[in-house]
Structure 1
Amino acid sequence: MYKVIEPVVAGGLGEKTQMDNSFFPPVVKSLHYEFDGWLGDDILESFPCYIVTNALRSGIESENLTGVIFDNVTIYKSETFLELYPDKDLPIFFWLKITGEENKDDFFITKKNGLAISERAYLLLEKYDIQGADIEDL
């Protein structure tokens, strides 16, 4: 049994993101995520990419969940973020690259470009802050 999760969008792809738009979805080679705000969720999105806190990365790795690899992401705070949250620190984030196969791995991208997660992955994510995410059965 799988669910589709739509994480919060707390910003967008920054100007230093390198991607090839000749494909759909675009192929991102280097990710720069620019925060406009952040209410604490451990998984965030900006199409076509997902980022997770270091804490959630550790949880995913300790549970040996499949269908993901991690990479570095460059994080910036936008002017809006700095105005709204001048003293707010951000945790360390990692790029959550989805590599899984449909109905085989714990994470995979659906035909409609949604993020699907297994029951095992959902049970882990529930232990973290995912309050802003929309989650439905696949």
Structure 2
Amino acid sequence: MKYYYLEPEVSGGPGENTIMNSSVHPPFVTRLHYEFDGWLGDSIVTSFPCYIVTEDAREKILESEFSGITFDDVEVTTSELFEEMQPDQRLPPFAWLKVNGDAGHDDFGIAKDYRLVVSERVLDALKPFGISNALVEPFEAS
């Protein structure tokens, strides 16, 4: 099985309702509020150390029984910048993708440098939902 770094678009960041312990690295998030500043349409977006996916992509991930992840609720809002730059853009529902797998072993994992690593099966499953703005490059386990 081949594995890849998947670096999704950063569409915003933690909103004011996020609960995060930033005294540890990576920060430990117990409640996620993602505030969008813009969105190019990809099914997975990030703001370190969290990832969120569209509900359609979540359903595909669950259906495929990929390893290394769980899901949780995420509060999604848009910033003034988003409203100004994309006033007609409506966001689909999103879910918090919590990665807990081993990079290069599970379908979803976090590398030692804290980047997301996914299996080729995950890439193939996500492509129809949109990942064209993400950086994808081969992962070599060390």
Match of 1:72 in 2: 73
Any stretches of 5+ residues in structure 2 without a counterpart?
Answer: none
- 1:125 is matched by which residue type in structure 2? L
TM-score w.r.t. structure 2 length?
0.94
Deviation for aligned residue 1:95: 0.4
The aligned residue for residue 97 of structure 2 is: 96
Q: Please state how far the C-alpha of 1:83 moved relative to its aligned partner.
A: 1.0
CA displacement at 1:102 relative to structure 2 = 3.0
The answer to whether the 8 Å contact 2:104/2:118 transfers is no
- Relative to the length of structure 1, the TM-score reads 0.97
Q: Which runs of 4+ in 1 moved over 6 A?
A: none
TM superposition shift of 1:104 = 2.1
Query: Any idea what SS the aligned residue of 1:19 has?
Result: strand
Tell me how many residue pairs correspond in the alignment.
Answer: 138
Long gaps (5+) in structure 1: none
- 1:103 is displaced (CA, Å) by 2.6
- For residues 84 and 103 of structure 1, what CA distance do their matches in structure 2 show? 38
CA RMSD of superposed structures (Å): 0.8
Equivalent residue number for residue 106 of structure 1: 107
Percent of residue pairs identical: 48
Q: Distance in 1 between matches of 2:100 and 2:14?
A: 20
- Report the counterpart of residue 55 of structure 1 in structure 2: 56
> Any idea what the Cα deviations from partners look like across 1:19-44, whole Å, max 9, x if unmatched?
11121000001001000111111000
